Amino acid sequence: MANDPITAGIVDLLRACDPEAARVLEAEGERQESTIELIASENHVSPAVMHAMGTCLTNKYAEGYPGARYYGGCEFHDQAEDLARERAKQLFGCEFANVQPHSGAQANAATFLALLKPGDTFAALVLADGGHLSHGLKVNMSGKWFNPVFYPLHYDAGHPQFEQIDYDAAREVCLEHKPKLIMCGYSAYPRTIDFARFREIADECGALLHADIAHIAGLVASGEHPSPFPHAHVVTTTTHKTLRGPRGGLVLTNDEDISKKLNRAVFPGMQGGPLMHVVLAKAVAFGEALKPEFKTYCRQVIANARALAQSLTDHGYRITSGGTDNHLMLVDLQPRDAELTGADAETWLERAGIITNKNGVPQDPRPPKTTSGLRLGTPAITTRGLTEAEMPTIAGWIDRVLGAKGDDAVTSEVREEVRRLCAAFPMPGAGVTA
Ligand code: DSN
């Protein structure tokens, strides 16, 4: 039985009417309870956020926006959306918010629809070095219908900003190609982003600046990472990573004209009915993020990431760019074991109850399905209450499993130790009965 009482309660409910679904849900509840979640883009939401999603708001069509819907019966949906929008604006210190995007990728697509025409040029980071598929991958709409040009990191190992964004090179790329939009904000970049510098580049080449803060949104909201405002013309994010809300997207701006274009692009441009149960949960999560405890949480996320990076360095792993300023790190496995791939590491660690994702390191000689690296993040383990004190233990487990090349006996031993730690640090909601 899952310890999380919300999941456990729903399992009980489902058992009577849909035992197959009950079994799946129960197994996933147990998996989450008993494993250490180190995927940098995942988190454990509060009982309030989880409950807000499982509500009657899912029954309703509310196409349109508050005060201008295409269906009757939207009085309380207007209130839910207004609450989410107002809290989002307060949280990020901006004038306009659209809380309807179903995901970060759709928030990005809506931005393209609002501000670009097919064939237009935009600039983004070299995708293999930390970008996101919606930033110009060939098989994504952004790469198929638009013309991405890419700016690099510093690749010279002797450079003081090795594996950090090369802002001068980004400027050169942008001056040469004159993009209409410059994207900054990444999926696997462990360092602070200089939004002001990007705005200078955007102004110099006549581009709009689009910051995708999906990964660092919680850190931005809590003041633990510099804000993209007032520099960016558009800010997109997911709501479920460091921000610790329900799975979804969000678009923000300070520009009224751009906000109108963005609203039209989200609905009816990209989406039909908003997921109003998720919009309510976004409001709840934003309310939580406005509390002082959230700042304490974000500080601990960063402290944990630094401590984990240091412990892994002590075990002989290389942390790309020499460390981390945020919630994530890229671990280059090659200096520890030249034969070790990210794919094998991910598989072996999962057997030990440590959940990670393989990830290319900058200029990785191996392809994306294999990779030479792992991306690790601390948002979820920090939510469970882990601090710097537990990071050497986690790094030690990672090294034991990888050093033994996934050996069954070693993996089983670590699996039991992971279970014990997870029992001592339950997911949010354990003990909550309401
Ligand atoms: N897939 C997400 C991540 O893991 O970073 C980005 O959307």
The per-residue pLDDT for 3 is: 62
| Residue at which a domain ends, from 241, 259, 289 | 289
- Counting from 1 in the atom list of ligand 1, the atom nearest the Cα of 39 is 4
Q: Is 63 a catalytic residue?
A: yes
Based on the fold, state whether residues 260 and 364 are members of the same structural domain. Answer: no
| Residue at which a domain ends, from 289, 323, 354 | 289
On whether residue 334 sits in a domain, the answer given is: yes
CATH code of the domain covering residue 317: 3.90.1150.10
Based on the fold, state whether residues 72 and 173 are members of the same structural domain. Answer: yes
The yes-or-no verdict on residue 433 having pLDDT over 50 is no
Q: Is 61 a catalytic residue?
A: yes
Based on the fold, state whether residues 199 and 340 are members of the same structural domain. Answer: no
Q: How many domains does the chain have?
A: 2
| Residue at which a domain ends, from 228, 254, 289 | 289
For the chain, the distance separating the N- and C-terminal CA atoms, rounded to the nearest angstrom, is 18
**Mean predicted confidence (pLDDT) in 386-398:** 98
On whether residue 44 sits in a domain, the answer given is: no
- Counting from 1 in the atom list of ligand 1, the atom nearest the Cα of 215 is 5
Q: What are phi and psi of 98, to 5 degrees?
A: -115, 115
On whether residue 140 sits in a domain, the answer given is: yes
- 9 — pLDDT class (breaks 50, 70, 90): confident
CB neighbourhood size of 73 (10 A) = 11
Based on the fold, state whether residues 160 and 306 are members of the same structural domain. Answer: no
Atom 2 in ligand 1: residue holding the nearest Cα: 41
CA angle, 250 as apex, 248 and 256 as ends, to 5°?
A: 160
Pocket test for ligand 1, best of 129, 132, 133 (most atoms within 8 A of CB): 132
Based on the fold, state whether residues 83 and 228 are members of the same structural domain. Answer: yes
Ligand 1 pocket residue status of 148, Cβ below 6 Å: no
Which of the residues 241, 261, 306, 358 is marked catalytic? 241
**Mean predicted confidence (pLDDT) in 187-212:** 98
Q: What is the pTM of this model?
A: 0.97
Range of the domain at 142: 56-289
- Give residue 376's identity as a one-letter amino acid code: L
Q: Is 172 a catalytic residue?
A: no
Q: Is 31 a catalytic residue?
A: no
On whether residue 11 sits in a domain, the answer given is: no
- Counting from 1 in the atom list of ligand 1, the atom nearest the Cα of 103 is 7
- Residue 187 CA to ligand 1 center (angstroms) comes to 6
Task: Write the pLDDT tens digit of every residue in 334-360.
Answer: 999 999 999 999 999 999 999 999 999
Whether residue 230 is preceded by a cis peptide bond, meaning omega within 30 degrees of 0, is yes
Based on the fold, state whether residues 253 and 325 are members of the same structural domain. Answer: no
The per-residue pLDDT for 392 is: 98
Ligand 1 pocket residue status of 104, Cβ below 6 Å: yes
Based on the fold, state whether residues 67 and 191 are members of the same structural domain. Answer: yes
